[in-house]
Amino acid sequence: MKVGFIGLGIMGSAMAANLLKGGLQVTVWNRTAQSCQLLANSGASVADSPRAVAECSDVTIAMMANPEAVRSVRDGVDGIIAGLSRGKGFIDMSTVDVETALESARLTREKGALFLEAPVAGSRKPAEDATLTIMAAGDRELYDSSLSSLEKMGKKIIFLGAEGNASRMKLANNLVMSGMLTALCEGMALAAGSGLDSAQFLEVLDSGAIANPMFRLKGPQIAANTEFPPAFPLKHMQKDLRLALRLAEEIGQPLFATAMVNELYKSALADGLGDADFAAVSRVIRKP
């Protein structure tokens, strides 16, 4: 299978690299051309537009930062849709709102092609290790034919039915993740502020019912309070919170805690922490 990959940021570059390692023919494009070079050195072809990627690929994958970025590579004379034709497939692995996913599905099918939304759970390390969780929804035929490619990027792939369901699932997932991280930050601030040792506090957490990989990974970074290299940029988490709150408003579901968590992330953005890892929200919570 010839696979196109558009969007070579923190996640996309690692995911495309794993497709290459899996023996697939991969053509790439990125808005910043130099991001293509490492993959080109590993055997990828480089196209001059998203349309060109779609024209030469059986399946085109997009991994963009937000709905606006998806539309910028999807639409227009040089966009993905313009390069699709009957029998091809478009898989959008970006985290977007339901409306964007539905519009992508409609535009893709108008060209006689198949569509799948497939956002992922995981950050830089799972992307590099091909251990992402992939939530897929849309055309089952495309899911079945692309499953072997998806398995080169993720350890758990779930088909959720009609398009829109994967976007809803991803937003609900990230809502929980942001809330857990906020609780960790507050617990660590309380422990440290009252004179307790942060390492011992993390040890206690890790020995009980709320032990989890994220606390093990982020806890020491929060305790050190130095650098927060972006495994998952804070600005992307705030975007996901914003989309989750919008979805909740549409269906009439109150999200009391999430609304508060979103305000914390907005404060962190205002403090210039958007490009840091989302664990940097601890700097809003922790007293100087």
At residue 287 the predicted structure's pLDDT band, cuts being 50, 70 and 90, is: confident
Shared domain for 26 and 100, answered yes or no, is yes
- Are the C-beta atoms of residues 223 and 282 closer than 8 Å to each other? no
Average model confidence (pLDDT) across the chain: 97
- Distance of alpha carbon 265 from the chain centroid: 17
Which residue type does 31 have? R
170 labelled catalytic? yes
Do 175 and 156 reside in the same domain of the chain? no
pLDDT digits (tens, 9 = 90+) for 160-219: 999 999 999 999 999 999 999 999 999 999 999 999 999 999 999 999 999 999 999 999
Note whether 180 and 209 are same-domain residues.
yes
Q: Looking at the structure, do residues 219 and 266 belong to the same domain, yes or no?
A: yes
Shared domain for 82 and 194, answered yes or no, is no
The CATH number covering residue 53 comes to 3.40.50.720
Q: How many domains is the chain partitioned into structurally? A: 2
Residues in the chain: 288
Where among 100, 131, 161 does a domain terminate?
161
Helix, coil or strand: residue 112: coil
Are 16 and 75 part of one and the same domain? yes
- The stretch 139-152 carries a mean pLDDT of 98
Do 71 and 130 belong together in one domain?
yes
- Those residues with Cβ within 8 angstroms of residue 194's Cβ, 6 or more apart along the chain or in another chain: none
Q: Distance between CA 47 and CA 40 in Å, rounded?
A: 11
Given the residues 170, 218, 235, 239, select the one marked as catalytic.
170
What average pLDDT does range 3-19 have in this prediction? 97
CATH number of the domain to which 222 belongs: 1.10.1040.10
> pLDDT digits over 167-183, tens only?
999 999 999 999 999 99
| Domain end residue (candidates: 105, 137, 161) | 161
Question: What are residue 117's DSSP bridge partners?
Answer: 92, 137
On whether both 55 and 127 belong to a single domain, the answer is yes
How sure is the predictor about 288, in pLDDT bands with cuts at 50, 70 and 90? low
**Of 134, 161, 188, which residue is a domain's last?**
161
* pLDDT, mean of residues 135-139: 98
Closest CA to 150 of 138, 134, 137, 166: 134
Does residue 268 have a pLDDT over 90?
yes
Q: Based on the domain organization, do 118 and 175 belong to the same domain?
A: no
183 and 262 assigned to the same domain? yes
Q: What is the pTM of this model?
A: 0.94
Under a CB-based contact definition with an 8 Å cutoff, are residues 45 and 29 in contact? no
Quote the domain boundaries for residue 274.
168-285
Maximum pairwise Cα distance, the chain: 65
Check pLDDT > 90 for residue 115: yes
Ranges 116-120, 224-228, 234-238, 239-243: which has the least confidence: 224-228
Pairing of strands 132-138, 114-117: antiparallel
Residues 154 and 178 in one domain: no
Q: Could you tell me if 173 and 155 lie in one domain?
A: no
